[in-house]
Amino acid sequence: MAISSFIDDSTLAVLYPAHLTSLRARHDRALERAGAGHVVIFSGAPRGVFLDDYNYPFKANPHFVSWLPLTDTPLCYIIYTPGETPILVYFQEKDYWHVTPENPRGYWPDQFDVRIVHTINDVAKHLPEAREKCVLIGEISDEAQAFSIDRVNPGTMLNILHYERSVKTSYELECMRAASRRGVTGHRAAFRAFKAGKSEFDIHLDYCRAVGHTENDLPYGNIVALNENGAVLHYQHHAQQKPAEIRSFLIDAGARVNGYASDITRTYAKEDGEFAELVERFDQLQLELVAEVQSGLSFIDLHMLCHRKLAALLPEFGLAQGSVDALIETGVTQAFCPHGLGHLLGIQVHDIGGHMGDDTGTVIDPPSGHPFLRFTRTLEVDQVLTIEPGMYVIDMLLNNLAGTPGHAMINQSKLGWLRRYGGIRIEDNVRVLEGGCENLTRDAFAA
């Protein structure tokens, strides 16, 4: 399905110039701190498969994508000098083995000085002559790609870019709303396929058709898990044979628009009953956490609130017994939910900068006992993040409680009942506001 089905280029044409103004200001500050005069941003190069003659799927440098929506065009360069129009050196290889990239078009090329080259050697003539005044940002696998620029990915510059990238421009927010709408289209198709009794593989195919993505277009590998597979946090398979009995379905899948991602998870019961009631109650818990989101809130505090809510839920359904504090202190809630409550979202699904305390590289570590929390910052207006509480039967973690007070608090019989369903995760993508949030995911489902 075309991007135009989810977003209007005329809207982006209005928002895009202000986005570039924001990017220029950000890079001006970073260049000043780095003591450099120019930044050269490399889109990236294809990476060959070991002992073979084809490449892994290309993933563009997110710093490059932040400037323009070219996600599948390798060996391009952006050259930015403060006060000047940014230059795009656009690599258009003459190659009869592959389709030649078409000329840049759309709402964005008129904001650049576009220079088309047909060989890598032609790039050099468009770079600043004073290479010692340049900083190069990108993954360099061959020295020739750096064109004698010695300063590659300096921390003095990247710290500012990574820290400030968490706050999204109006252009980025519009792309992310569209990515949510696109992802929800796939989730609806996947739900229909689940209700029809299809296999994980066929559900995945229905999802990809609905969003108009190939495997390589997806922002991350779809998690399509039936029954017990829902307890594997990053379940990586798509079984082609459906199980004899389908009881539950967990899908964690997103979509991309102009390089920006959505990241959405839903869990469903096949039939009415206690597990369906638990899913509904967990959805309520997730919405209660979303309702807490606002500027100035420590995400660590929100993560810990999630564990308090989970500790209250477990006895409610007979899965454990004990006070809220005891279930947390003994590690019971951590065994049921070992991952963090959420993460920054943007060009990268797990967007960079989640542990940064400021733009100098100060790190805010996750709290003790919660090493997988990817976001530890205080919430700011126009950050976009996920809120994704989970609850799973992960035998490896639950068995680690053997011989501890926490093990005695768990109802093993009830645990056996839940094990057959795997687990539950509900994930929304939210934009932080001054006194609340915009829920991109729920808005897309409501449309």
Output Rg (C-alpha) for the chain, integer angstroms: 24
- Closest CA relative to residue 420, chosen from 230, 221, 240, 157: 230
- Specify which residues 90 forms β-bridges with: 116
Q: Rounded to an integer, what distance in angstroms lies between the CA atom of residue 393 and that of residue 305?
A: 21
**Contact (CB, 8 A) for 207 and 198:** no
What domains sit in the chain, N to C, each tagged with a CATH number?
A: 3-164 (3.40.350.10), 170-446 (3.90.230.10)
The pLDDT assigned to 5 comes to 76
Q: Which helix (H) or strand (E) holds 137?
A: strand 134-137
The pLDDT assigned to 98 comes to 85
- Closest CA relative to residue 211, chosen from 203, 230, 439, 13: 203
| Residue at 415: amino acid letter | L
The pLDDT assigned to 103 comes to 93
The pLDDT assigned to 211 comes to 97
Q: Rounded to an integer, what distance in angstroms lies between the CA atom of residue 359 and that of residue 348?
A: 19
The pLDDT assigned to 174 comes to 98
CA 385 from centroid of its chain's CA atoms: 9
- Closest CA relative to residue 180, chosen from 398, 431, 436: 431
**Contact (CB, 8 A) for 409 and 327:** yes
Query: Other CB atoms closer than 10 Å to residue 241's CB: what's the count?
Result: 8
3-state secondary structure of 38: strand
The pLDDT assigned to 307 comes to 98
**Contact (CB, 8 A) for 88 and 115:** yes
- The residue with tokens 């506001």 is 433
Residue spans of the chain under pLDDT 50: none
Tell me how many helices (H) and strands (E) the chain has.
Answer: 13, 15
